[in-house]
Amino acid sequence: MELRKVELIEVWVKLKSPFETSFGRTEERPAILVRVEEKGGEVGWGEVVADSGPWYSYETNETAWHVIRDFILPQLKGDITPGNFTALVSRIRGHNMAKAGVEMALWDLAAKLEGLPLWRYIGGVRDKIVSGVSVGIQPSLQELVKVVDGYLQQGYARIKIKIKPGYDVAPVKKLRETFGANLPLQVDANASFSLSDVEVFRKLDEYNLLMIEQPLGWRDLVDHAELARRIRTPICLDESITDLDDARKAYQLGSAMIINVKPARVGGLGETLRIHDFWYRQLGRPIWIGGMLETGVGRGHLVAAATLEGVKYPNDISASSRYYENDIVEPPWELNRDGTISAPTRSGIGVEVLEDQVRRTAKRLYQASF
Ligand code: OSB
Ligand code: MG
């Protein structure tokens, strides 16, 4: 594909309700939309999910803007495909979210040029994906019950709650008492504990959780392997897996039975496919797709990734209405009654960006022509 124009459009989107984790509280977040246009006029969209502060990862919307504008866009000359993009930017160490925003726009564009839905283009095998919901830390356990009850009534198939030291066993106990032993439930600590907290995890072992996500350090693999030997509940890694090589090391060390793959965290859909093929096809272990509170643009890429064969746990991919009053795409992503989201039939990510609105409300814009 030959590109003629790439635009960065930064918008800020306000969440319906604040989202609190062990690393902070989000009420509004930046989304850098990447719009790529090839010489025939076809367009692809991607989203950079880096937050305004370096809390989940070291990247921010500022670092991503800088890295894309000054180091990634100058590489996009000549024949560009999702496949050769990775090699073109391999000199840039890290900055996976910046890379992923551009890479995913190229995937959307490539699928559209083939006239195929993105999920089919990347080899997905199912036309609906299982939707879970990630519930932030709540001000009280009563509030937690109320919020979870609301999501269950909407049909979400699995609940994940955020935990942190001091807000760990009690919320899990409360949910088990209220909703019973069969509620599919898991927790996400976002790297807020250390190995000396093993007693907390031994207590959590009593509650039949599907998994414990990223209990220890955000770059750690070794302590997670030690913790995995000491508890029964499977460990799922999020932050610690930034590429295929991390996944291989996690396997070799025994750091996790499960990994959640976030296309944004690993540099895009190409690396998502490689991790999927290693973890699922080679090792026989299922994965699931995690989210970063994406707008409808990033959500389209998540839905496509979740149609891959090895995705067998419910995903952190909820409907547009779980996050935003008004999403920036048409139609918004909707939850079916059975707790699934349908993979689109239209080409690419399958939804239209509300481009006028996005341009009108943009905080900043950058355009590169080739
Ligand atoms: O750790 O999975 C996480 C959101 C922002 C940053 C990190 C995480 C999350 C979520 C939300 O849990 C998942 C979603 O997009 O619904
Ligand atoms: Mg997580």
Stretch (H or E) spanning 356: helix 355-361
* pLDDT value of residue 356: 97
Ligand 1 neighbours, Cβ below 6 Å, are 56, 134, 188, 190, 238, 290-293, 316, 318
What confidence tier does 368 reach under pLDDT thresholds 50, 70, 90? Answer: very high
Q: Which atom of ligand 1 is nearest to the CA of 160?
A: 12
Long-range contacts (CB closer than 8 Å, 24 or more residues apart) made by 356-359: 357/328, 358/9, 358/11, 358/33, 358/328, 359/9
Q: Which atom of ligand 1 is nearest to the CA of 323?
A: 16
Mean pLDDT, range 237-262, rounded to an integer: 98
| Catalytic residue positions, numbered | 162, 262
Query: With left for phi above 0 and alpha for psi between -120 and 50, is residue 208 left, alpha or beta?
Result: left
Q: How far apart are CA 256 and CA 129, in angstroms?
A: 23
Global pTM exceeds 0.95: yes
Angle at 358 between CA 14 and CA 65, to 5 degrees: 80
Nearest alpha-carbon partner for 301 in 89, 96, 60, 49: 49
* pLDDT value of residue 283: 98
Residue nearest to atom 1 of ligand 1 (CA): 190
191-238: pLDDT as tens digits = 999 999 999 999 999 999 999 999 999 999 999 999 999 999 999 999
Q: How far apart are the CA of 290 and the centre of ligand 1, in A?
A: 7
Q: How far apart are the CA of 22 and the centre of ligand 1, in A?
A: 11
DSSP 264: T
DSSP string, 325-352: SS-SEESPP---TTSEEEPPSSSBTSSE
Mean pLDDT, range 135-143, rounded to an integer: 98
317-359: pLDDT as tens digits = 999 999 999 999 999 999 999 999 999 999 999 999 999 999 9
Q: How far apart are the CA of 319 and the centre of ligand 1, in A?
A: 14
168-192: pLDDT as tens digits = 999 999 999 999 999 999 999 999 9
* pLDDT value of residue 339: 97
Residue 291 identity (one-letter amino acid): G
Ligand 1 pocket: which of 134, 188, 265, 295 to mutate (most atoms within 8 A of CB): 134
What confidence tier does 110 reach under pLDDT thresholds 50, 70, 90? Answer: very high
Contacts (Cβ under 8 Å, ≥6 apart) of 343: 117, 119, 124, 126, 127, 128, 129, 303, 304, 307, 350
314-327: pLDDT as tens digits = 999 999 999 999 99
CB atoms within 10 A of CB 140: 10
